[in-house]
Chain A
Amino acid sequence: MKALLLGAAAIVAMASPTLAERGSDGELKIIYWQAPSTMNPYLSGGTKELEAASLVLEPLARYDEGGNMVAWLAESIPTVGNGGVSADLKTITWKLKDGLLWSDGSKVTADDAVFTWKYCSHPEGGCAQSEKYNDVTNVEALDELTVKVTFGVSKPFPYGPFVGAQAPLLQAAQFADCLGTKAPECTDANFGPIGTGAYKVTEFRPNDVISLAANTHYRDAAKPAFATVTFKGGGDAAAAGRSVLETGEFDYAWNMQLAPEVLAGMQAGGKGEIVSAFGTLVERVMINMTNPDPALGDERATAKHPHPFLSDINVRKALSMAIDRDLLVEIGYGDAGKPSCNVLPAPEIYKSTANDGCLVQDVEGAKKLLTDAGWVPGADGIRQKDGVRLSLLFQSSTNAVRQDFQALIKQWWGDIGIETELRNIDSSVFFGGDPGSPDTFQKFFADVEMYANNFDGTDPESYMANWECKQAPRPETQWQGNNMPRYCSEDYDALVAEMAKTGDLMERARLAKAMNDKLMQEYIILPLVDRGRVSARSNALGGVVMNAWDSELWNAADWYRVK
């Protein structure tokens, strides 16, 4: 399991932390231009909250920069091989490291893990990470340091609970009275959770700034190098980048979603550099396989009515061929993106190479394909067949880069004789999932739509299951579901079912690749750009290892001041 890693690897190689003493490097200043609103990741699924909390709260295991699982609070990763995972794939037993202390000095025990599960699985708690504890029927403490998680079904990938930044351990003593509906009332606990991480919260100002100090009970006596951390939130990406790369006021700035030329200009300041890492976030165009014609009323965009022309694979293929993915990357993302021909671009073992032909734009080929399929230009230059005109409604969320992409793609599709009407919808509405709104990405009342999506962690099983037949949003599901294209294939569903009962990693990889290739070769999804995480690091900050699989601050305990 190797994830792509730019720059960060070099830093690791260079990194030779001088024999540090805890707190000897003064203050670490981090800026997140979206300010965290809570320190409890179970009450907010937002990335900013997860990352802020990861300075304090830690899971049993997490992912390193290569996407490999590493034991964190646990002694080792349980597997079928070492007996930690039962043969029927229904239980997993974790063993905590000995001698771990919470930042208040009390011992970390298996009961804390049991409590954490109870906290997140409480039906009235509204836990944002309950997905992580899916199918868990019981969590029990076998002894003070041993936790056994039992699943109701066999789990080929049992590393949901207590793994990754989304599912860290909470201290049972602190949150004991915060179960269920009481959860939001525990403001002090939610703002200042007691953790095992290198830092502890000294002051939390919601949506503004978090002050942290070194955890005196941290398991490594020499860490962290910094005595205090100021975690500032707010502003915009440009200002955050400026404060690290140009003025040097801050050490680390998260999520530099900026135009490539702006970033390059800032880096010229010489005070810092851009670090990036690529995960699974793919900007993609979804094809609607059903007919979104308003005339169909309640049956609009449902499987009952196939799309009048997008159900023709030649049209879908031509749409893909007309796109110049390199140019999209250059214009929209620069260092933060790379062209992608897979909806599942990483980790490496899952990455298919069968579809790389899409990297080259082929306008003439697309035209020929359409003509051969009987789609010939009409009097207005728009191709048509049997009275059906190739005229698309293309929707996306409101976002400068997406609108640039829409305009470019419209032009390319125009070149091959397909007319495109563009539409953009405010992201809170588009992604809002309100069944009453006609403008959500689930309802998909358009012919094609563009957005980005990814999956948590490194295991693609549930992600690839998104395109199962039954996942299609439709009135019966209150328009919920992840299968936006309403793709429906028995073969595909069979692959999903097979993966759900396969434990062997290589076999799982083969299945995932097969599913990816099927989606790609049927042109159900047109991947465009693999988007990386991009952050900025001051030259005075050492030890940063950019990680696309976990919190970016996953190894903040190892960060130090470059002198």
Chain B
Amino acid sequence: MFNYTIRRLLLAVPTLLLISFLIFLLLDLAPSDPTANLPLTIPPEVREKIRISLGLGEAFHIRFLLWCKQFFYNETLNILEQWWGWDFGGDRLRVLSWQTRSPVVDTIVQRIPQTLWVVGMSYIVGILIAVPIGILSAYKQYSWFDQIGTFVSMVGYSVPTFFTGVLVIVIFSVWLGWFPSIYDTTLVVNDWSSFLQQVKQMIMPVSVLALYNAAQISRFMRASMLDNLNQDYVRTARAKGIRERSVILVHVLRNSLIPVVTVIALGVPQVFGGAIITEQVFKVNGLGQLLIIAIQAGDVPTVQTLTFIFAVLIVFFNLIADVLYGILDPRIRYD
């Protein structure tokens, strides 16, 4: 397993380099212009100067190599400096956003907390809801509980979050006035009342996203449970005279969780990717919002850096999923 993991990690390096190149290529080919969203009153000569000042005058390969150097070398050194207090000296140009003219990585670091709080929490809440619902739905297949669960999942899965998001805002913010409709990213939780305020502003986005996540995972959980409930070993367990609870929780659940756990692991990069639409609806301004704004503004360095980080996370969590599978399922050995 260890060798396998090392081998996979080594393989990830060329994969990610290729991905970064492809992203860069795609972004370069895409018809986007960082000055496109400026007011029309800004004359073309000025736009051209702006473009040149952004480095767009250079050839494609130069820009790509420059990005590689800035991202892989300069930013890495920078992180080491910040974490360990080392000083490598020298003046290193970091990856700068075309919109903000500030280091992209700093903005990302600034955005991570709110994304993890809201999107991550919704993922956890989603899982916590989904797993028991999936288990019970499968165990009582076709019961009213299962029917309602199926209906709610269908709703959660098929109704887009920009609809449910606005709906809950209209109900709970506009009509009832219980929760704020706009997320305050500057809120510092340092006492009970600010904690309550944080909880209040998180409830709506977290529940909207959790419903969506739970819908997917609970269907998966249910299907996986049903697969296993009809297996002979379950009958064996019952014939052994095992308690029903143990039959379900030990025999069926443990086997059913194998694919679900890997699906959950594969979903984690999406948490970092943020929930573009939900973040927009609730003004959470996390990584998803950062990405969409960067795309709209033609901010190539930000888009490139963000998508590349997502790619790293996806590759990494794919590996984690595979390793988890190997750990959880004794039938799978990677060596």
Contact = CB atoms under 8 A, between A and B. Distances in A.
A419 to B, nearest CB: 29
Interface in B235-286: 280-283, 285
Contact of A124 (B37, B39, B53): B53
A187 B102 contact: yes
Nearest to B33: A432
Contact of A206 (B37, B49, B52, B102): B102
Contacts of B107: 206-207
Given A184-B101, A207-B289, A433 B182 contact: no
Interface in B267-325: 280-283, 285, 289-290, 293, 296-298
Contacts of A31: 182
B33 A191 contact: no
Given A130-B46, A207-B290, A242-B174, A428 B36 contact: yes
B96 interface: yes
A184 B96 contact: yes
Contacts of B54: 126
Contacts of A207: 99-100, 107, 285, 289-290, 293
B293 A243 contact: no
Contacts of A426: 31
A205 B53 CA distance: 23
Contacts of B40: 431, 451, 453-454
A37 B297 contact: yes
Contacts, number: 187
A43 B49 CA distance: 11
B285 A233 contact: yes
Nearest to B40: A453
B266 to A, nearest CB: 29
Given A128-B50, A190-B101, A232 B283 contact: yes
Contact of A437 (B31, B44, B174): B31
Interface string B29-62: 0011101111111111111011111100000000
Nearest to A250: B182
A126 B181 contact: no
Interface stretch (A44-52, A375-383, A544-552): A44-52
A31 B32 CA distance: 27
Interface in A416-459: 426-429, 431-434, 437, 439, 451, 453-456
A5 to B, nearest CB: 22
Contact of B97 (A206, A236, A243, A480): A206
A183 B169 contact: no
Contact of A234 (B101, B166, B283, B298): B283
Contact of A456 (B41, B46, B103, B289): B41
B185 A209 contact: yes
A242 B102 contact: no
A208 interface: yes
Given A128-B42, A181-B53, A208-B185, A37 B174 contact: no
Contacts of A233: 285
The residue among B46, B97, B100, B111 with the most chain A CB atoms within 10 A of its own CB is: B100
Nearest to B91: A185
A426 B31 CA distance: 10
A242 B169 contact: yes
Interface residues of B, number: 56
Interface string B122-163: 000000000000000000000000000000000000000000
Nearest to B99: A37
A294 B172 CA distance: 56
Nearest to B96: A184
A185 B37 contact: no
Interface string B188-201: 00000000000000
Contact of B36 (A187, A208, A432): A432
Nearest to B104: A206
Contacts of B185: 205, 208-209
Interface string B212-253: 000000000000000000000000000000000000000000
A428 B299 CA distance: 12
A408 interface: no
The residue among A37, A128, A130, A451 with the most chain B CB atoms within 10 A of its own CB is: A37
Closest 8 CB pairs of A and B: A126-B53, A184-B101, A432-B33, A206-B100, A37-B99, A480-B44, A45-B38, A208-B285
16 contacts: A40-B101, A185-B93, A185-B96, A206-B102, A232-B182, A234-B293, A236-B280, A239-B181, A242-B173, A243-B182, A269-B174, A427-B36, A428-B296, A432-B33, A437-B31, A480-B44
Given A239-B166, A434-B31, A453-B41, 18 more contacts: A37-B97, A37-B100, A123-B49, A128-B42, A183-B53, A185-B101, A206-B97, A209-B285, A232-B184, A234-B285, A235-B281, A236-B280, A238-B166, A432-B33, A437-B31, A451-B40, A454-B40, A456-B41
